[in-house]
């Protein structure tokens, strides 16, 4: 009986250090905090987690902007190729990343001709609210290729 007790105590003493070890920190999964997940059409293995604002921008893009800023729409081909100049794709980071958020807000709200761009871009200021315009911009920034890098400090 003493041997059994001694063996049990020894086993407990050997296991105690293992109990005090902290498990390795798991890499945070950004999809757990996402409002929704968007599949990247160019890379199906790269899901894009969207927060609420970005998800609202995606919804607005699919209803209002897809007709001119995508190659395909839910209804088939877009009208993009019929426009001159051809509008940039919504994920064209090379074109859209250099534009600051205020400029994007102005072009969406006031239209292209108001900011010296194509008159083919209509003003959406009476159709979309200011919050909806910000949502579209958040979505543009999220899906940009190459990825959008916010400026180190905001412009004054």
In the chain, what are the domain boundaries?
31-143
pTM: 0.76
pLDDT at 44: 73
**Pairwise CA distance, residues 23 & 105, whole Å:** 46
Q: What is the pLDDT along the chain (156 residues), one digit of tens a residue?
A: 677 776 666 666 666 665 556 666 667 676 677 788 887 666 777 788 999 999 999 999 999 999 999 998 888 888 999 999 999 999 999 999 999 999 999 999 999 999 999 999 999 999 999 999 999 999 999 999 999 998 887 665
* pLDDT (0 to 100) of residue 51: 94
Please state, in angstroms and as integers, the Cα–Cα distance from residue 81 to each residue in 70, 86, 88, 91, following that order.
10, 6, 11, 16
pLDDT value, residue 75? 87
**Secondary structure element (H or E) that encloses residue 77, with its range:** strand 76-77
Q: Are 82 and 132 in contact (CB under 8 A)?
A: no
- Looking at residue 95, its pLDDT comes to 96
Q: What is the CA radius of gyration of the chain?
A: 26
* Domain 31-143 bears CATH identifier 1.10.760.10: yes
The tokens of 129 are what? 């609210």
pLDDT value, residue 17: 60
Task: Give 8-53 as a DSSP string.
Answer: HHHHHHHHHHHHHSPPPPPPP-GGGG-SEEEE-SS-TT-EEEE-HH
């Amino acid at each position: 009986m003493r041997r059994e007790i001694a063996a049990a105590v020894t086993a407990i003493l050997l296991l105690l250090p293992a109990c005090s070890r902290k498990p390795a920190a798991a890499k945070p999964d950004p999809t757990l905090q996402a409002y929704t997940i968007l599949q990247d059409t160019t890379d199906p293995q790269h899901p894009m987690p969207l927060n609420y604002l970005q998800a609202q921008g995606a919804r607005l893009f699919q209803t209002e902007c897809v007709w001119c800023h995508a190659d395909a729409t839910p209804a088939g081909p877009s009208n993009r190729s019929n426009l001159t100049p051809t509008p940039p794709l919504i994920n064209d980071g090379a074109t859209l990343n250099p534009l600051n958020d205020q400029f994007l807000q102005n072009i969406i709200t006031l239209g292209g001709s108001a900011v010296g761009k194509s008159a083919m871009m209509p003003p959406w200021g009476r159709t979309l609210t200011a919050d909806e315009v910000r949502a579209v911009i958040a979505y543009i920034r999220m899906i940009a290729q190459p990825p959008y890098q916010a400026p180190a400090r905001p412009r004054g």
